[in-house]
Chains A and B, each alone.
Chain A
């Protein structure tokens, strides 16, 4: 039996980041030199009021420019591919293709996902108020959407970066009612050859 044993609650103490410009420069360099990312992920949906968690896991692929494959494998199968301005989703029963440009919500979603993975979201100071922290092993950036409508859905976003290679190690999206979704990225492989077929549908 496959049992995923992970600890998503690692205790870590964070203090305000000492060198924010330095961090931004390193992140920019890393983002430019990253042509692809392949990793596993574990997603924890936390229903705070009900003291319940829903855990799901899968695999993630990114290839420049803007090609994303986000695939849930347990306990359900669900696939999202973003490629060539289109968003494709598939579950056991349905598959759908959307033109990203035709839908503002998909544009936001696309910008948000690729922005988080590449760190570009930190440049978007118009839409998010940003705070920077660090621990001995990781950087943490907290983003609060400025727009009221966005805040109804997403109160705060936390992004953790590994200090070693500046890759994203975790993502937490806090909803308005305290519920949150935390995604941990594991077994990251940078700049490996990811076949284009992974992004075709």
Chain B
């Protein structure tokens, strides 16, 4: 009886969690949904991006430059200091896995690299690539939300109606929200800034895209 009560409570809690996040959404016709990766700001044809970055881990703050480059079947992300010293170099794949090509000894802790790797992977590949995507639509605003399961939790991608690009990614675990990634864009052609907020970890990332047109090089 106690187990039954606990299970009912658990179900109510879980359904309450997703309902409170998306109680204004209804399930939408999958056929009309955008293709799985078209909502990402980081596609094969979007070229390189350079961000000024600030990473807060517990009481430490790391500032530097985050360089993102799409390759044929992956994305390469490097974090370097303003002075040019490389902190890490990671490669990300569509399935959500990543490879660490280099990481400065001081930062090379599995707990740090795994969390950073998972966060950056979500920034690029927003929807889980395993056929679990389900599309919902806001009743009033008409915004799409794509829900997918990645084995470690559920992802909700909120898509901007005008640009067709992702506005916000919410990652939930079994019980609660774990991570929120917000994408801001004025022109709608590239992300101006990206903000990562963790709910159960003291880790926050803030990226601001840099305009490199003033430093064109001619050889």
A binding-site residues for B, Cβ under 8 Å: 1-9, 43-45, 47, 50, 52-57, 72, 74-76, 78, 80, 89, 91-94, 96, 152-153, 173, 175-177, 179, 181
CB nearest to A51 among chain B residues = B69
Please tell me if the beta carbons of A7 and B212 are within 8 angstroms of each other in the complex: no
**Contacts A4-B216, A55-B217 known; A75 to B210 CB distance under 8 Å?**
yes
Any A CB within 8 A of the CB of B143? no
Q: Which chain B residues (128-167) contact chain A, with CB distance < 8 Å?
A: none
In the assembled complex, the CB of A122 is this many whole angstroms from the nearest CB of chain B, namely 21
Q: Are A55 and B54 in contact (CB under 8 A)?
A: no
Work out how many contacts link A and B, with CB atoms closer than 8 A: 87
| Chain B residue at minimal CB-CB distance from A149 | B105
Partner of A179, one of B54, B65, B86, B218: B86
Say which size band chain B's interface belongs to: 20 to 34
Distance in angstroms between the alpha carbons of A99 and B215 in the assembled complex: 33
* Complex-state Cα separation, A1 to B216, whole angstroms: 11
Nearest neighbor of B52 in chain A, beta-carbon distance: A76
In the bound complex, do residue B54 and residue A93 qualify as a contact, i.e. CB atoms below 8 Å apart?
Answer: yes
Of A7, A45, A175, A181, most B-chain CB atoms within 10 Å: A45
Given A5-B218, A6-B217, A78-B63, 18 more A-B residue pairs with CB atoms under 8 Å apart are: A3-B214, A4-B217, A5-B217, A44-B217, A45-B80, A45-B84, A50-B69, A55-B212, A75-B211, A76-B65, A80-B83, A89-B63, A92-B52, A152-B105, A153-B85, A173-B84, A181-B83, A181-B85
Across the A-B interface, the 7 shortest Cβ-Cβ residue pairs:
A181-B84, A55-B215, A78-B82, A75-B210, A45-B84, A5-B218, A76-B52
Q: How far is the CA of A181 from the CA of B78 in the complex (A)?
A: 14
Check if B214 sits within 8 Å of A47, measured CB to CB.
Answer: no
B7 within 8 A of A: no
| B182, CB-defined interface residue at 8 Å | no
* Pair A52/B69 contact, Cβ less than 8 Å: yes
Contact B217 A75 (CB under 8 A): no
